[in-house]
Chains A and B, each alone.
Chain A
């Protein structure tokens, strides 16, 4: 029996009806990881024994009727920026090599208490900084649809493992598109929730005001159920929205006739947009129209400043968030005794900082720390960071205004399909532009959904993006589900 080419909802159903056990499914995925991950490289740490033991406990709990959660027994992979106390939490950085957290992230606690079984921790761009997972301090992750291409990033491991049938669902994090862009590249669904919907407690921060944890899966139903598990107010996160999680999965099947979906002309007509992606997007618009959805033009006049704004705010916050990785308290500490500062008496301490951070961080992380340090400096702060905060407010206002007119905004997720490994590594600005359509949602704090809407002629997945007003994940999932139903979407897996 094929246990791995199933959605989480299907697996949960079979476990619930005792056709299969969580342990069997968990073992099946662990076997798949062993068989394929030398080629894919999706995982940094796999907790095989722990996962099997955990699955067995969940099976017992289900048998005794102690767990009544819609995803009980389902295996899941999580991005290696979420704190777990069994496997290391490294953010794919050498500076946290072998670091084991003393506590669990809120989302990890929620997964466990809902009976999900964590298979392991997935690869990413170091500290989630990048769009190809090539910035990992440990290994490359390859796109299961074409092993010469990247899976996107930064949640590249979390996307690739689903596409490679190594896990049915996963958690990623999204600061500028890091869930949605790899979801699009790997042909799966990914949801960045409203800022504050999911607790960030135990998420290794990249840019605190933009970071959000979200679900990745094949089906919209899986996304809805997984978000129900991980979302809701957490008193340990001051930015967590004090609202309980609504039921998202029950209303998915309602017809969407009468819904208003906005499209942004500048996005569709953007010169940088791949023609095949444009073509699929136009087809998808027609699918919606045929469902009785009203398609309306909306304007996001400040969207053109999104990338510039994002690359001021995110590095600024990151430069401060990453100060704690100094070698003084935990993680990597350089044993190099080379002195770079011979003037000060305290040179041994400063040398330790310089050598630890110099050796521990990769080039992209250093680039962003330097960018952020510069923009926060006295004399530059007003011109850069403060200005960026003001533009950010304008971007948010554009969305507010648009959502007075429409329920969702539909557009491309990425300008291009998955690019080749090495293609953009020497051109950071080209790499930054892959976030063109996704960063707006992070700056505005709104939810955004990436769903597959076809393949290129060369067989690479293509995705589209739906965005909605804050806390309206229900609209996104509803619209996403309606699309998948109307095209009778079936998940497909590449041959590896």
Chain B
């Protein structure tokens, strides 16, 4: 494999809609999908004379998130106005945080599939490899701000001469956002995806956001450029101009857009040789259908938003006791849970990774299986092979899964005790999925599963050996595997016959007869 001729450098800005009952500076609801302009009041409409009042819950959620992201929580934070004109911003400014964000200087540890080999070759200090296959992505800051409204461009009445209508829905205006800004520590599209996946998981564990990209409760902008090693030995790296990529509506599009953008920038550099600072910063939009980025804005200087402290709001003072209280109230975070599953239940790190990464509800389901008597190993196997597969096939969430964990635990215990084998266990599982009202014992019974008495088994095996002298001969000649054909026959005669028992018993009988 050829080493790539450049390294992709990525920083991500993630806007997270916080799960508060009401907006950041008024009491309007934040529910998604309400009819346009029905969740509005004088404050979020920016009517003359209205004033903002801070929703303390948003500050709490921001602190939870900041602490989970290993950030420093500001003892003193304030609100600033970011001034710009746009119809979906009714006040003509957005209330945000400029120089004193509520959270700063954190990090998020991500798993690496395989670290890019030439990282060290170009003296890369970004991020910290905290453990093999792990990397810390540093965070610059996370600040609170209010969301803007939505512009809905109606093309239906548009003709080539007449411009289309734009309608404004201000339901979203004022919804609390936490903007989480990373350092440019990611070195591939895969790392960016891994960061986003871990961040989303963390936010879901914290229960601070719905993280629904389709509904816009998690939005990602990527800052991308490439570093190209110089020709001469010890020559400095050449960095291409940074491009901000917007309109990324899924993690998949983040990945594709970064790959595309890196290749585009490298190609462009080969043509024009322009490095960072030699051409204006661009904002480009991702076109998911065509798989390309297109130019949206190009600026010589950054926009002047004329930030200044919002005189309508008072600064927020956060006492260290308050920070400590929130820190203590944090739930177990994904990384800690993975480690605990491995150490406490002795399951494989891979299994822990899969189960924990499915979200808190699935991890809790798994733990309940164990607490209800299932062995960790069997629980882990059934989670991955049966529960997760069923969820995926039926496209449902664990909350709607028809088998409660205590019930599944009963089945796993029954298998453990040898009351039925795994194959029959799966049949029972299917029964339970299809018919949620049925209990485990009833399902076992309905399938005619009973533990076959030893005597009955012996009788069955004797019958089989008499009917199959060729198999007996083969076994006697040293081919023990030949017994396999009898197992199938035994299963046909009595579906409850445990294959292992059949095998063991037949061998025993043959050995006894040959003595």
Do chains A and B stick together as partners?
yes
- Which residues of A are in contact with B by a Cβ distance under 8 Å? 81-83, 89, 91, 96, 99, 101-103, 105, 200-205, 207-209, 235-239, 316-317, 319-320, 322-326, 328-330, 348-349, 353, 373, 376-378, 381, 385
Taking A209-B311, A316-B308, A376-B306 as contacts, is the C-beta distance between A323 and B51 under 8 angstroms?
no
Query: Interface residues of B: mostly helix, strand, loop or mixed?
Result: loop
- Judge whether A101 and B53 touch: CB under 8 Å: no
User: Quick one: which of B45, B48, B81, B85 contacts A204, CB cutoff 8 A?
Assistant: B48
Q: How far is the CA of A322 from the CA of B312 in the complex (A)?
A: 14
Taking A236-B53, A238-B53, A238-B313 as contacts, is the C-beta distance between A323 and B85 under 8 angstroms?
yes
Among the stretches B90-98, B364-372, B387-395, B499-507, the one at the interface with A is B90-98
- Judge whether A324 and B314 touch: CB under 8 Å: no
- Judge whether A349 and B87 touch: CB under 8 Å: yes
Please encode chain B, from 341 to 360, with 1 for each CB lying within 8 Å of some chain A CB and 0 for all others: 00000000000000000000
Given the complex, which residues of B lie within 8 Å of A81, measured CB to CB?
Answer: 49
CB-nearest residue of chain B to A329 = B90
Task: Check if B50 is an interface residue, CB within 8 A of chain A.
Answer: yes
**How close is A369's CB to chain B, nearest CB, in angstroms?**
11
Taking A328-B87, A377-B306 as contacts, is the C-beta distance between A99 and B311 under 8 angstroms?
no
CB-nearest residue of chain B to A330 = B47
Closest 6 pairs (CB-CB, A-B)? A323-B92, A209-B311, A208-B311, A376-B306, A202-B49, A328-B87
- Judge whether A378 and B48 touch: CB under 8 Å: no
Most buried by A among B48, B304, B307, B312: B48
CB-nearest residue of chain B to A349 = B87
- Judge whether A324 and B92 touch: CB under 8 Å: yes
Identify 20 new A-B residue pairs, CB closer than 8 A, beyond the known A203-B49, A239-B51.
A82-B49, A91-B48, A103-B42, A208-B312, A236-B53, A238-B312, A320-B308, A323-B92, A324-B90, A324-B91, A328-B90, A328-B168, A329-B45, A329-B90, A353-B85, A373-B306, A376-B308, A381-B306, A381-B307, A381-B308
Given the complex, which residues of B lie within 8 Å of A201, measured CB to CB?
Answer: 49-51
Taking A323-B92, A348-B163, A376-B308 as contacts, is the C-beta distance between A101 and B49 under 8 angstroms?
yes
Please encode chain B, from 304 to 341, with 1 for each CB lying within 8 Å of some chain A CB and 0 for all others: 10111001111000000000000000000000000000
- Bin the interface of chain B by size: 20 to 34
**How close is B11's CB to chain A, nearest CB, in angstroms?**
22
- Judge whether B46 and A329 touch: CB under 8 Å: yes
Q: How far is the CA of A184 from the CA of B339 in the complex (A)?
A: 75
Interface residues of B in 175-206 (CB under 8 A from A): none
CB-nearest residue of chain B to A237 = B51
11 contacts between A and B (CB under 8 A): A105-B49, A201-B50, A203-B49, A207-B311, A238-B52, A238-B314, A320-B306, A323-B83, A329-B45, A377-B304, A378-B306
- Judge whether A320 and B92 touch: CB under 8 Å: yes
CB-nearest residue of chain B to A202 = B49
User: Quick one: which of A82, A91, A105, A385 contacts B308, CB cutoff 8 A?
Assistant: A385
Task: Check if B509 is an interface residue, CB within 8 A of chain A.
Answer: no
Given the complex, which residues of B lie within 8 Å of A376, measured CB to CB?
Answer: 83, 306-308
- Judge whether B48 and A324 touch: CB under 8 Å: yes
- Judge whether B48 and A101 touch: CB under 8 Å: yes
Task: Check if B447 is an interface residue, CB within 8 A of chain A.
Answer: no
Q: How far is the CA of A236 from the CA of B52 in the complex (A)?
A: 7
- Judge whether A103 and B163 touch: CB under 8 Å: no
Please encode chain B, from 72 to 106, with 1 for each CB lying within 8 Å of some chain A CB and 0 for all others: 00000000010101010011110000000000000
Given the complex, which residues of A lie within 8 Å of B314, measured CB to CB?
Answer: 238-239
Taking A320-B81, A323-B85 as contacts, is the C-beta distance between A103 and B47 under 8 angstroms?
yes
Please encode chain B, from 43 to 74, with 1 for each CB lying within 8 Å of some chain A CB and 0 for all others: 00111111111100000000000000000000
**How close is A349's CB to chain B, nearest CB, in angstroms?**
7
Q: How far is the CA of A208 from the CA of B313 in the complex (A)?
A: 10
CB-nearest residue of chain A to B41 = A103
Interface residues of B in 159-184 (CB under 8 A from A): 163, 168
- Judge whether B48 and A83 touch: CB under 8 Å: yes
CB-nearest residue of chain A to B308 = A376
CB-nearest residue of chain B to A240 = B51
**How close is A154's CB to chain B, nearest CB, in angstroms?**
16
Given the complex, which residues of B lie within 8 Å of A322, measured CB to CB?
Answer: 92
Q: How far is the CA of A153 from the CA of B148 in the complex (A)?
A: 37
Given the complex, which residues of B lie within 8 Å of A82, measured CB to CB?
Answer: 49
- Judge whether B49 and A205 touch: CB under 8 Å: yes
Q: How far is the CA of A246 from the CA of B105 in the complex (A)?
A: 47
Given the complex, which residues of B lie within 8 Å of A239, measured CB to CB?
Answer: 51, 311-314
Given the complex, which residues of A lie within 8 Å of B42, measured CB to CB?
Answer: 102-103
Most buried by A among B47, B85, B306, B313: B306
Given the complex, which residues of A lie within 8 Å of B304, measured CB to CB?
Answer: 377-378
Given the complex, which residues of B lie within 8 Å of A348, measured CB to CB?
Answer: 163
Interface residues of B in 1-51 (CB under 8 A from A): 42, 45-51
- Judge whether B92 and A204 touch: CB under 8 Å: no
- Judge whether A238 and B51 touch: CB under 8 Å: yes
Given the complex, which residues of A lie within 8 Å of B93, measured CB to CB?
Answer: 320, 323
CB-nearest residue of chain A to B47 = A102
